[in-house]
A and B are shown apart, each in its own frame.
Chain A
Amino acid sequence: MASSGGHTFKVVLLGEGAVGKTSLLLRFVENKFNDKHLTTLQASFLNKKMNIGGKRVNLAIWDTAGQERFHALGPIYYRDSNGAVLVYDITDEDSFLKVKNWVKELRKMLGNEISLCIVGNKVDLENDRHISVQDAESYAASVGARHYHTSAKLNKGIEEMFLDLSKSMLEQSNTHSAASGGSSAPGSRGGSTRRQVVTIVDDDDRPERRGCCSSS
């Protein structure tokens, strides 16, 4: 019953209304996804388990409302998150500007601890492209983010993007825990080891583990 240690990462999905955040997400989970597994929030909240280099990673992906009107709610959603996926539509310049705003805000609020992925969606509409690949990639590099091109319609590049993001978050949490003396410091919530069965909320140094069998 005891499973090997795993990480839970919180990932927020940010992007303007019509950039296709939701379809992106659905594509990513759809293989493992049938009606039975749907949560109440459905496409707004998804759990995805991954195995990266033998390590269990559980992604909790939080959708956000993309309307301009709800822009100010961002901080509430991305609080304590380990990663952010910023989606824009390659045919829509405004959506890219919006991404830039998000990046600025995220870096200001959460510093470099958060792993960022900038995603140009709708590459199936390459003919209508308004954001050049070069612009996008150089911008991403300048803010320490990775850049991806995806198409939710063609199911392209999505899996890869989430995989890379997970790796990056894993590295981040490892370097962070190494920095804080090999233990998960109280602040780094994503870095704390979470198990499927036995979970420790202990922020102390000693990772005492108790099975569900008698502990005495």
Chain B
Amino acid sequence: EALKSPCRRLLKDSKSCPLQLHLAGRFSSHLFLLFSDVFVHVSYSGHQVFPLATIWIETISDTDQIKNGISLTMPEDALTLTAVQAADKGEWMWAIKQAICDAVTERKNLPRSSSSSSSSTPRPPPQDRHACYTFKKPGPYKDAKYEGMWKNSKLHGQGKLTWPDGREFRGTFHEGMQDGWGTMTTPLPEGMEVYEGRWKMGKMHGNGCLRYANGDLYEGHFQEGKKWGHGVFRQGRINIASNPEATVYIGEWVNDRKQGFGVLEYLTRGEKFMGMWMDDNRHGNGIIVSLDGIYFEGNFIHGKISGNGLLMTEDATYYEGQFSGGTNLSGKGTLTMPNNDRIEGTFYGSFSDGVKVTGTFHKAQEPTNERKGFSHNVSTLPSTFGQMSVSADRKWQALFAHCYSLLGCDVSLTFPPPPVRPDKAWQRVAAVLAMAKKVQKERSSNYISDDLETIPVSTPCDRLTTEHYHKMKGYIAKAIDSPAHPLGQLFEALVDVYRASYVGVGAHQRLLTHAVNEVKSYISRIYPIIRSAFVLLIDFKAFVSWSAPPCASSSTQRPCTLAPLTSSTPSPGCIVTAAGLLLPLLLPKIYPPLFTLFALHNEREDEKYWRRIRHWNKQSDVSLMSYLGLDEKFWLIEECAIDDANGVMSAIKNRSYLEAIDTLQRMSTSFSPAEKLQLIQLTFDEVNTLVQRRERSNYLWSMDDLFPVFLYVVVRARIQHLGAEIHFIDELMEPHLEYGEFGIMFTTLKACYFQIQLEKVL
């Protein structure tokens, strides 16, 4: 027959040792031949060849229907054979097993055991084996050639599939389907489509990266082969002139379409939309900002603006009313000028090309520039500002849901889900880390440190102590820096989306409110997640101080030794709040975009302030101090002047407040309001120590004396964006600090800033 080949030997056939196909028709004739490498089934119409390496054999225990049965399973076929007598079955079993073993071991190039034929009970052939196979029958793998690991006739473990049309999959299989990490390459007429990421049940599922043939790139979550969950989609390339619509979308997806909250940036147009989506269209509230300073806020239905919107230009001009198309004014509305004059009427056109107006002009009744305790210009925003934007808590829900699901919470029913038991959460953390390690090993990248798997506070205790708190804080700090840890994944993703929102076109001064709210919302949403692991942490919003922490531990762990405070004055070292815990961890990661917004917002005041600072710093200490109204006893330069010759004077005089000045300067290189406040306090401490030392008596400060001295320090510290710094602290400091000493110190700094602006330039 055609099966003859030089190294193929016939081991057994069903003529000499009868073997039948189970449930075969009475008149059909079947012949089975076992060769050294294949098993052949010859029937009336033709024959089928099964390579031994992909045959799994099992005995079937006798039943009424089947006597002496043998089951053979192949990747795409299964045969149930019966022998006439038990002895025949035994012989066949032995022979096939032996042949499979030999075939498999040969494939692996292992030394063939010469004594195999002599052993009466052969080793059962391995369930898991490495083999090649080419699929023939219709199905997802048709015509594909597989090379890799098998288990019980199913693809299982690492393997590689190649299709004749050029498609290729390398990765992990489970029970016959792609499952785990894998890479799929599909050649298409335009180019290669490559997916690299997680699979489940043969479909893209989990985090992955799909590069489309046209160059578009999606990075994010998949579900059942579709973009689903949080992901970034880059469409078009900016360097191709013919493509005006290069966009980056970052946000939520459902069933391959943009749905939920997302930010879409038009790279070439310099425009950004931040809002709700449905079915790939803008749908719901949203904000548009553009490079030319336009800020628009409105409600969309299926991609079209509906109802009234709010449009603001870079100065304080704003229009509230009807729109059409993009951000073209169309219909009834009110246009308000920076000086509060307004026009009511109908408007057609756009701010860039001119607006045709029919309407009534109203002169502002009275100047409304009343100083309301220096509230950072917020009053210049229209009252409707922010009403048609997406609330911060609604943003990026898919990221939080993903983190919850990593921790074993069921997010399908309610969100946020009920907290899991902490031990379960920790198990999940360990599982996630273990999985990440496995993946990293598969991709041979960096190693993940082991200590994240150690539960920082393992012994149950009913009280939160300083020691525990610091342990937890240390753990959380480490966790958020690890890309494998669920918390780290969340933080990394949040930092990404934050940057995507507020960098570039997003560095728009009108977005400050939204950016700050978003930070606060992150904190209030991350905290419950952390709380599920550390049950001992107090509930969000309520905070607590533990009873007097041991002095030794508290003084070494605090960044600066605090002056003894009256017991009711909260110091940041002894009150635990969500913001106190998380802000110092989150802010350093998003500080540049956030601070840029503050700087933009306070640009005008800061310029005014800076002009004075620059001029004043050219002055000598004596003239500056007398100009600022320092009492001569605080000049602290006479002694030096008297002691030294005139020439050295200039070098020495600067020294007196140098330490305080240095300390205050460090404010601009610290990232959290708590740190900044501590530096302000330290500055006061240093001023105080200095004066006490010089006075050699217990000098008691009154604000009359202290204010000019501190003003001098502020001027000399030359902090460039002091207005932005102050605003930053104002927005993000914890409210419980406002009444304490931090409160008045910070207020004094604020007062200095405004005083500087009030003074003449000189």
Partners in one complex: yes
A139 at the interface (CB under 8 A from B): no
Residue numbers in B under 8 Å from A213 (CB-CB): 462-463
CB interface residues, A 62-102, toward B, < 8 Å: 62-67, 69-70, 72-73, 75-77, 79-80
The reply to whether B629 and A44 form a contact with Cβ atoms under 8 Å apart is no
**Interface contacts beyond A62-B747, A202-B541, A210-B539: sample of 7 additional A-B pairs, CB < 8 Å, sorted by A:** A36-B564, A58-B568, A62-B744, A201-B542, A210-B542, A210-B544, A214-B535
**17 A-B Cβ contacts within 8 A?**
A22-B704, A39-B563, A39-B566, A39-B569, A44-B701, A44-B703, A60-B739, A65-B704, A67-B707, A73-B755, A76-B374, A79-B747, A199-B544, A208-B539, A212-B547, A213-B462, A214-B536
Q: Residue of A at shortest CB range from B735? A: A201
A146 at the interface (CB under 8 A from B): no
Interface flags, B723-762, vs A, CB<8A=1, else 0: 0000000000011101111011101001100110010000
Interface flags, B325-360, vs A, CB<8A=1, else 0: 000000000000000000000000000000000000
The CB with the most chain A CB atoms within 10 A, among B374, B535, B542, B563, is that of: B542
A143 at the interface (CB under 8 A from B): no
Interface size on B (CB < 8 Å)?
58
Q: Residue of B at shortest CB range from A32? A: B566
Residue numbers in A under 8 Å from B736 (CB-CB): 194, 199, 201
Contact flag A75-B463 (CB < 8 Å), given A8-B739, A47-B569, A65-B704: no
Residue numbers in B under 8 Å from A26 (CB-CB): 700
In the complex, how many angstroms separate the beta carbon of B655 from the nearest chain A beta carbon?
21
Which of B371, B542, B703, B741 makes the CB contact (< 8 A) with A198? Answer: B542
A40 at the interface (CB under 8 A from B): yes
B681 at the interface (CB under 8 A from A): yes
Interface flags, B545-573, vs A, CB<8A=1, else 0: 11100000000000000011111111000
Which of A69, A80, A209 makes the CB contact (< 8 A) with B738? Answer: A80
Q: Residue of B at shortest CB range from A108? A: B370
The reply to whether A67 and B741 form a contact with Cβ atoms under 8 Å apart is no
Interface flags, A175-192, vs B, CB<8A=1, else 0: 000000000000001000
Taken together as a complex, chains A and B put the C-alpha atoms of A206 and B751 apart, in Å, by 36
Q: Residue of A at shortest CB range from B567? A: A196
B411 at the interface (CB under 8 A from A): no
In the complex, how many angstroms separate the beta carbon of B531 from the nearest chain A beta carbon?
9
Contact flag A47-B566 (CB < 8 Å), given A22-B702, A65-B707, A75-B373: yes
The reply to whether B738 and A45 form a contact with Cβ atoms under 8 Å apart is no
Interface size on A (CB < 8 Å)?
56
Taken together as a complex, chains A and B put the C-alpha atoms of A25 and B569 apart, in Å, by 18
Taken together as a complex, chains A and B put the C-alpha atoms of A215 and B703 apart, in Å, by 43
Taken together as a complex, chains A and B put the C-alpha atoms of A109 and B544 apart, in Å, by 34
Which of A8, A63, A69, A197 makes the CB contact (< 8 A) with B544? Answer: A197
Residue numbers in A under 8 Å from B739 (CB-CB): 8, 10, 60
Residue numbers in A under 8 Å from B568 (CB-CB): 8, 47, 49, 58, 196
Taken together as a complex, chains A and B put the C-alpha atoms of A189 and B736 apart, in Å, by 10
Q: Residue of B at shortest CB range from A13? A: B703
Chain B residues engaging chain A, CB cutoff 8 angstroms: 371-374, 462-464, 535-536, 538-539, 541-547, 563-570, 575, 577, 629, 681, 684-685, 688, 698, 700-704, 706-708, 734-736, 738-741, 743-745, 747, 750-751, 754-755, 758
Taken together as a complex, chains A and B put the C-alpha atoms of A198 and B541 apart, in Å, by 12
The reply to whether B543 and A199 form a contact with Cβ atoms under 8 Å apart is yes
In the complex, how many angstroms separate the beta carbon of B30 from the nearest chain A beta carbon?
69
The reply to whether A60 and B542 form a contact with Cβ atoms under 8 Å apart is no
Taken together as a complex, chains A and B put the C-alpha atoms of A109 and B563 apart, in Å, by 34
Q: A interface, by DSSP: helix, strand, loop or mixed?
A: mixed
The reply to whether A44 and B751 form a contact with Cβ atoms under 8 Å apart is no
Taken together as a complex, chains A and B put the C-alpha atoms of A92 and B321 apart, in Å, by 58
Taken together as a complex, chains A and B put the C-alpha atoms of A209 and B544 apart, in Å, by 10
Q: Residue of A at shortest CB range from B682? A: A40
Taken together as a complex, chains A and B put the C-alpha atoms of A64 and B701 apart, in Å, by 11
Residue numbers in A under 8 Å from B743 (CB-CB): 10, 60
The reply to whether B681 and A209 form a contact with Cβ atoms under 8 Å apart is no
In the complex, how many angstroms separate the beta carbon of B8 from the nearest chain A beta carbon?
71
Interface flags, A46-66, vs B, CB<8A=1, else 0: 010100000000101011111
Residue numbers in A under 8 Å from B704 (CB-CB): 17, 21-22, 63, 65-67
A200 at the interface (CB under 8 A from B): yes
Contact flag A109-B536 (CB < 8 Å), given A44-B702, A70-B755: no
The reply to whether A63 and B755 form a contact with Cβ atoms under 8 Å apart is no
The reply to whether A211 and B700 form a contact with Cβ atoms under 8 Å apart is no
The reply to whether A216 and B535 form a contact with Cβ atoms under 8 Å apart is yes
Taken together as a complex, chains A and B put the C-alpha atoms of A73 and B538 apart, in Å, by 38
Q: Residue of B at shortest CB range from A39? A: B741
Which of B538, B685, B738 makes the CB contact (< 8 A) with A212? Answer: B538
Residue numbers in B under 8 Å from A1 (CB-CB): 547
Contact flag A35-B698 (CB < 8 Å), given A72-B758, A201-B541: yes
Which of B544, B701, B750 makes the CB contact (< 8 A) with A41? Answer: B701
Contact flag A212-B701 (CB < 8 Å), given A41-B745, A75-B374, A197-B545: no
A43 at the interface (CB under 8 A from B): yes
A132 at the interface (CB under 8 A from B): no
Residue numbers in B under 8 Å from A44 (CB-CB): 701-703, 706, 744
Residue numbers in B under 8 Å from A210 (CB-CB): 538-539, 542, 544
The CB with the most chain B CB atoms within 10 A, among A1, A45, A75, A109, is that of: A45
In the complex, how many angstroms separate the beta carbon of A48 from the nearest chain B beta carbon?
9
The reply to whether B629 and A76 form a contact with Cβ atoms under 8 Å apart is no
Taken together as a complex, chains A and B put the C-alpha atoms of A79 and B325 apart, in Å, by 45
The reply to whether B542 and A212 form a contact with Cβ atoms under 8 Å apart is no
Taken together as a complex, chains A and B put the C-alpha atoms of A197 and B707 apart, in Å, by 32
Taken together as a complex, chains A and B put the C-alpha atoms of A70 and B701 apart, in Å, by 17
Q: Residue of B at shortest CB range from A63? A: B703
In the complex, how many angstroms separate the beta carbon of B474 from the nearest chain A beta carbon?
20
CB interface residues, A 125-179, toward B, < 8 Å: none
Residue numbers in A under 8 Å from B547 (CB-CB): 1, 197, 212
Residue numbers in A under 8 Å from B688 (CB-CB): 40, 42
Taken together as a complex, chains A and B put the C-alpha atoms of A210 and B544 apart, in Å, by 8
Which of B373, B685, B735, B740 makes the CB contact (< 8 A) with A79? Answer: B373
Taken together as a complex, chains A and B put the C-alpha atoms of A216 and B685 apart, in Å, by 41
Taken together as a complex, chains A and B put the C-alpha atoms of A213 and B539 apart, in Å, by 11
The reply to whether B371 and A75 form a contact with Cβ atoms under 8 Å apart is yes
In the complex, how many angstroms separate the beta carbon of A88 from the nearest chain B beta carbon?
15
Residue numbers in B under 8 Å from A211 (CB-CB): 544
Taken together as a complex, chains A and B put the C-alpha atoms of A202 and B565 apart, in Å, by 24
The reply to whether B575 and A199 form a contact with Cβ atoms under 8 Å apart is yes
Residue numbers in B under 8 Å from A196 (CB-CB): 567-568
The CB with the most chain A CB atoms within 10 A, among B543, B564, B565, B570, is that of: B543
Which of B542, B567, B698, B741 makes the CB contact (< 8 A) with A200? Answer: B542
Residue numbers in B under 8 Å from A80 (CB-CB): 738
The reply to whether B751 and A76 form a contact with Cβ atoms under 8 Å apart is yes
CB interface residues, A 1-20, toward B, < 8 Å: 1, 8, 10, 17
In the complex, how many angstroms separate the beta carbon of B586 from the nearest chain A beta carbon?
19
Taken together as a complex, chains A and B put the C-alpha atoms of A66 and B735 apart, in Å, by 27
Residue numbers in A under 8 Å from B543 (CB-CB): 199-201
The reply to whether B538 and A215 form a contact with Cβ atoms under 8 Å apart is yes
Residue numbers in B under 8 Å from A189 (CB-CB): 735, 738
Q: Residue of B at shortest CB range from A198? A: B544
Taken together as a complex, chains A and B put the C-alpha atoms of A118 and B546 apart, in Å, by 40
Contact flag A43-B700 (CB < 8 Å), given A8-B739, A58-B568: yes
Q: Residue of B at shortest CB range from A202? A: B541
